[in-house]
A and B are shown apart, each in its own frame.
Chain A
Amino acid sequence: MKELIALTVNDQEYEVAVTPNQTLLDVIRYQLELTGTKKGCELGDCGSCTVIMDGKPVNSCLVLAMQAAGKNIKTIEGLETEQGLHPIQKAFVEKQGVQCGFCTSGMILSAKNLLDKNASPTDGDIRKALSGNLCRCTGYQKIIESVQAASEEMSK
């Protein structure tokens, strides 16, 4: 039996009919068609499905859609504004923090949560904050550099 839930995604309110066995990730990708949020391991290990829910980055593959009712969700699509890409997105492009791109949305959202709380993080802070997001391409160095560059840009 489907049930209507209301949730806010990227400052837009949605009403979606969901079944109990749907995850938040399913709703975001298949019903709201926001496919920037990636489906990787589906078991909470890889972090490619990261979204920010009520101010905290979480694995959306582990959240039941019905548990997300009434929540405020930010996905990667919610970062760009009329002024252009978010400074973290820009830094990932400029510092080549992206290779295949599959982990990037999650990396950027975890980094955003870090920089919102700590404007000038150390290398260690960044590695810790991104430790739930796995990248199989870059060896992480370029990603760390991208976040570092973004923090400098945002502190200006």
Chain B
Amino acid sequence: MLLPKFKFHEPKTEEEACQILTEYGEKAKPIAGGTDLVVNMKKKLLSPEHVVSLSRIGSLKGLEKENGFVKIGACFTVADMIEAKDIKENVSALSASAGALGSPLVRNLATVGGNIGSARPAADLPPSLMAYGATLILKSSHGERNVGIDNFFKGPGATACGVDEFISEIQVQTPPAGAGAGYLNLGARKAQDCNIVNVASFIALDGSGVIETARVILGCVGPIQVRARAAEKILVGEKPAQTLFEKAAEATKTDCLPITDFRGSGGYKLAMVGVLTQRTLKIALGEAKKNT
């Protein structure tokens, strides 16, 4: 299986990467781990004239906790996200999402920026990042801008990232006291599969134990990840309880319209969205109670 021909660029700094992307515009594609782009190029679904590797740029590989944010460099690998103390201890649902992605071999190459940038509806990282309300830093030769991840995805493979831009960092706010999140995915196998459905839930409790904020994100059930607004509405202002979570799970059925495909029927996916919503809310509640 041959790769189409292309010119390869390997900038050493973010500035250099910006210059190259500005010069070649839509003829160029950034590459990090390559676990998505190389596959699509081999399948001839994509054949960029210029491939710009971001993997030699040291400043894109950092991880730090600062002012209530976990800041993850776009080229931080998914394997490292599972074990990184700052991620595991502060944003555990993200660490769980990383553990669900691909296989150990893929995770050693794949990066957080790549999993977001490739914008697949069944991707593992976006639901938890959306549950935590993450912000993406996009860089170009015009400077940098912040985009909330809720506004980033535009369709399968389509994002708010301009052709001359690249994702440089992902900033995830650490949940305040009384808040927590959970992530679960359902696949046909335990590893090396594409999700049938995935869900991330976030809840924040106020001082009296009432749900102040709720975010429920559904993956694989639309062209982009879906905010389950009806479910969120049921949760906010109530005290967490199994019956409440069941009601919220039921409400997700009005939040999305999954298609029937070879991975499962629309009806099955809808039923599983409910199950995962309920279970992730339970995990989120456990995390929220731990986080005092």
Report if B31 contacts A (CB, 8 A): yes
- B142 proximal to A (CB < 8 A): no
A58-B108, A64-B8, A129-B104 given as contacts; is B38 within 8 A of A23 (CB)? yes
Size band of the B side of the interface? 20 to 34
Q: Are A62 and B39 in contact (CB under 8 A)?
A: yes
Are B104's CB and A57's CB within 8 A? yes
Segment at the interface with B among A7-15, A41-49, A76-84, A144-152: A41-49
B180 CB to nearest A CB, Å = 25
B102 touching A132 by the CB < 8 A rule?
A: yes
Q: Which residue of A lies closest to B109 (CB)?
A: A58
Residue of B nearest to A66 (CB): B8
Q: Output the least CB separation between B122 and chain A (Å).
A: 15
Q: Say if the beta carbon of B55 comes within 8 Å of chain A.
A: yes
- Check A131 against B191 for contact (C-beta < 8 Å): yes
- State whether B106 touches A59 (Cβ < 8 A): yes
What string of 1s and 0s marks CB contacts (under 8 Å) between A55-87 and chain B?
Answer: 011110111101100000000000000000000
Interfacial residues of chain A within 1-49, with CB under 8 A of chain B in the complex = 19-23, 42-45, 47
Chain A residue contacts of B104, Cβ below 8 A: 57, 110, 128-129, 131-132
Given A64-B31, A132-B192, are A21 and B108 neighbors across the interface (CB < 8 Å)? no
- Digitize B30-42: 1 where CB-to-A-CB distance is under 8 Å, 0 elsewhere: 0101110011001
- Tell me the smallest distance from the CB of B103 to a CB of chain A, in Å: 3
B17: min CB distance to chain A, Å:
15
Interface residues on A, range: 20 to 34
Distance between Cα atoms of A57 and B77 in the complex (Å): 13
A56 contacts which chain B residues (CB < 8 A)?
Answer: 79, 108
B40 (CB) vs chain A CBs: closest residue: A43
**Residue B188 lies at the interface, judged by CB distance under 8 Å to chain A:** no
Closest to B77 in A: A56
Separation of A20 and B31 alpha carbons in the complex (Å): 13
- In the complex, are the beta carbons of B42 and A42 less than 8 A apart? yes
- In the complex, the chain A residue whose C-beta lies closest to that of B41 is A21
Docked pose: A44 CA to B2 CA in angstroms: 14
Residues in B neighbouring A132, C-beta threshold 8 A: 102-106, 191-192
Which residue, B7, B10, B192, has most C-beta atoms of chain A within 10 A? Answer: B192
In the assembly, what is the distance between CA of A35 and CA of B124, in Å? 34
Interface members, chain A 103-156 (any B CB < 8 Å): 110, 128-129, 131-134
Mask: chain B, 44-69; 1 = CB below 8 Å from A; 0 = not: 00000001010100000000000000
**CB pair A42 B103 closer than 8 Å:** no
In contact, A64 and B53 (Cβ under 8 angstroms): yes
Residues of B within 8 A of A67 (CB): 10, 31, 34, 53, 55
Is the beta-carbon distance between A21 and B6 smaller than 8 angstroms? Answer: yes
Whether B4 pairs with A57 at a CB distance below 8 angstroms is no
| Residue A50 at the chain B interface, CB threshold 8 Å | yes
Complex Cα gap A53–B109 (Å): 10
- Distance of A42 Cα from B39 Cα, bound (Å): 8
Q: Which residues of A contact B39 (CB under 8 A)?
A: 43-44, 62
Provide the bound-state CA to CA distance between A53 and B55, in Å: 14
The distance from the CB of B215 to the nearest CB of chain A, in whole angstroms, is 30
The reply to whether A44 and B53 contact each other, CB–CB distance below 8 Å, is no
Nearest CB of A to B52, in Å = 11
Q: In the complex the two chains form, is A131's CB within 8 Å of B38's CB?
A: no
- Interface residue? B233 (CB, 8 A): no
CB distance from B60 to the nearest CB of A (A): 14
What's the Cα separation between A67 and B75 when bound, in Å?
Answer: 14
What are 19 contact pairs spanning A and B, CB under 8 A? A20-B7, A23-B38, A43-B1, A44-B106, A56-B79, A57-B108, A58-B109, A59-B35, A59-B105, A62-B38, A62-B106, A63-B109, A64-B53, A66-B53, A67-B34, A129-B104, A131-B104, A132-B105, A133-B103
The 5 A-B pairs with the shortest beta carbon distances in the complex, nearest first, are: A132-B103, A131-B191, A20-B8, A132-B105, A21-B3
